[in-house]
Structure 1
Amino acid sequence: MPKVKKKTLNLRGNVLDLTTPVVMGILNVNADSFYADSRILSVDQAIERAASMRSEGASLLDIGGYSTRPGAVDISAEEESDRVLPILEALGRTFPDLWLSVDTFRAAVARQAVEAGAVLINDVSGGTLDAMMFETVARLGVPYILMHMRGTPQTMTQFTSYNDLVPDILFEIQQQLARLRALGQTDVVIDPGFGFAKTPPQNFQVLNQLEAFQTFDAPLLVGLSRKSTIWRTLAIRPEDALNGTTVLNTIALTKGADILRVHDVREAVEAIKLVASCQPVA
């Protein structure tokens, strides 16, 4: 089975070792996220949630001010910045040992966030929604998460028609990755984009063929936490989808996931430890 060759990220001079997978905790700084318990509405609440995730073993925290659930309301770049920058600054002061990521598809917000202390950019659009994103990332010199998506959060459900699902996704990611690397960007993480321009059956197909994404010689991030693929399949609510999340995260780990992006850190850390314990001793 192909292996991911690159197992480190340079986070502003600090090396994140991905030989053992790590957990990225989700902080949604908005009132519109599909999972109500993940919504952060104040700096104090963000600090409390970050402290909990840190104690449970999160290596990274991903702060996002723009809801990307299907059909989410569009907001301006100014409003997005107003939401995330105070949180980034407060968390940077309170937890200087925590690595902070910004979840944005806007180059201007990414630049401001890095200036405020973010060391990683997580772009759900994979550079398709802001023509300046790739140049900005290369200039800032921070790692970049390239996620696969078609359309926008408002229109992506209209773009789920593929000739051959996984090869089509790989081809579209490769096109964007080539553009990034031509600009000198070396630290790139690949995210297949579960739930973005993909139906639940398509998401399961991507998960089943997740090993194919190791062809990029880049770390692999998987974000399945409490998504509709789980709760619609099981006919439950997002609030009840933790067990399903753990099941799919475990499958993802056996297929090469290096970073799990989750709402529930402790359970993801436990999954990583247990899967690692099943690996043959070198």
Structure 2
Amino acid sequence: MGILNLTPDSFSDGGKFNTEKAALLHAEKMLTEGAEIIDIGPQSTRPNAEFIDSNEEIRRLGKVISSLRKEFPEALISVDTFWSETVRFGYNEGMDIVNDISAGQFDKKLFETVSQTGLPYILMHVNPVYEEMHVKKKFGNIMVEINKFLLEKSQNLLEVGVKDIILDPGFGFGKTVDDQHKMIDETEYIGLGKFPVLIGISRKSFIYKPLGKSPLEISEETQKLHYKVLKQGAKILRVHDVKAAKETVNAFLKE
């Protein structure tokens, strides 16, 4: 899954791809490098990012989804949103997957809307309020807490008719460095094998800050962690650097 940020303020590539032409060129590059899913982000969710409503998300998305659908019909398109109106817009434009960082907690109509579209849904572990999503919580046992949350929410989704669920443990959202390394070490237990797992650690601070590096200087370290989670059954890697991740996936598949 290649990341396509349409935002002016994402932490490592804000403002680079927020025109339709730049977005399409970057999507083409990622697909050429081996991406199978293009994850379009109209809203930054980094710490202290600007909070925008669905109208602004839809404005930023513009014709990007439909243009991608037309230019690259083989690509799967996910949209990173927690707004039900954005999901409706994206569905009408031709998106394939809803990628929601909120687990349906920021818009109470979201689960029902996803069900109505019939689209697959990525369910992420996160704190329950937008303003606190990056506040580091003290967990007794991070894996127990994540599984309790994800399995309860997935049951809610199944009850409203969402059938295709992918789990994301939520790296970078309200967890300590130690907790996130435990999540890496115990990826095989996420969701207890009930659903496919997505891992999104690309350019995350729990990797680069302890090393005293920038988000753009940790490719080698990130690929080692990618390999580790693939060996434990992770099915999707959400990444900025598609070429390097694809090489890691290929190496894993050759084992």
TM-score bracket relative to the smaller structure: over 0.9
SS at match of 2:245: helix
Equivalent residue, structure 1, for 2:86: 109
1:39 Cα deviation after fit: 3.8
Equivalent residue, structure 2, for 1:54: 31
1:268 Cα deviation after fit: 0.8
Extract structure 1 runs of 4+ deviating beyond 6 A. Answer: none
Maintained 8 Å contact 1:68/1:153: no
Equivalent residue, structure 2, for 1:172: 149
Q: 1:38 to 1:25 in 2, by over 3 A?
A: farther
**Which one-letter code corresponds to 1:268 in the other structure?**
A
- C-alpha distance in structure 1 between counterparts of 2:212 and 2:44, whole Å: 23
**Which one-letter code corresponds to 1:142 in the other structure?**
L
**More RCO (CA 8 Å, sep 6+):** 1
Equivalent residue, structure 2, for 1:190: 167
1:158 Cα deviation after fit: 2.3
**Which one-letter code corresponds to 2:180 in the other structure?**
N
2:102 to 100, 122, 125: 125
**2:67 matched to 1:97?**
no
Say what the alpha-carbon RMSD is for the aligned residues: 1.4
Percent sequence identity over aligned pairs: 35
1:272 to 246, 249, 254: 249
Q: 1:152 to 1:38 in 2, by over 3 A?
A: farther
1:215 to 192, 202, 207: 192
Query: What's the TM-score once normalised by structure 1's chain length?
Result: 0.87
Unaligned runs of 5+ in 1: 1-23
1:144 Cα deviation after fit: 0.3
1:220 Cα deviation after fit: 0.6
Q: 1:214 to 1:77 in 2, by over 3 A?
A: closer
- C-alpha distance in structure 1 between counterparts of 2:57 and 2:254, whole Å: 41
Maintained 8 Å contact 2:171/2:180: yes
Aligned residues between the structures: 255
**Which one-letter code corresponds to 2:152 in the other structure?**
Q
**Which one-letter code corresponds to 1:189 in the other structure?**
I
Q: Deviations over 1:17-54 (max 9, x none)?
A: xxxxxxx0000000111112784121110111011111
Equivalent residue, structure 2, for 1:156: 133
Maintained 8 Å contact 2:133/2:174: yes
**2:42 matched to 1:65?**
yes
SS at match of 2:52: coil
Maintained 8 Å contact 2:168/2:198: yes
- C-alpha distance in structure 2 between counterparts of 1:38 and 1:222, whole Å: 24
- C-alpha distance in structure 2 between counterparts of 1:196 and 1:46, whole Å: 26
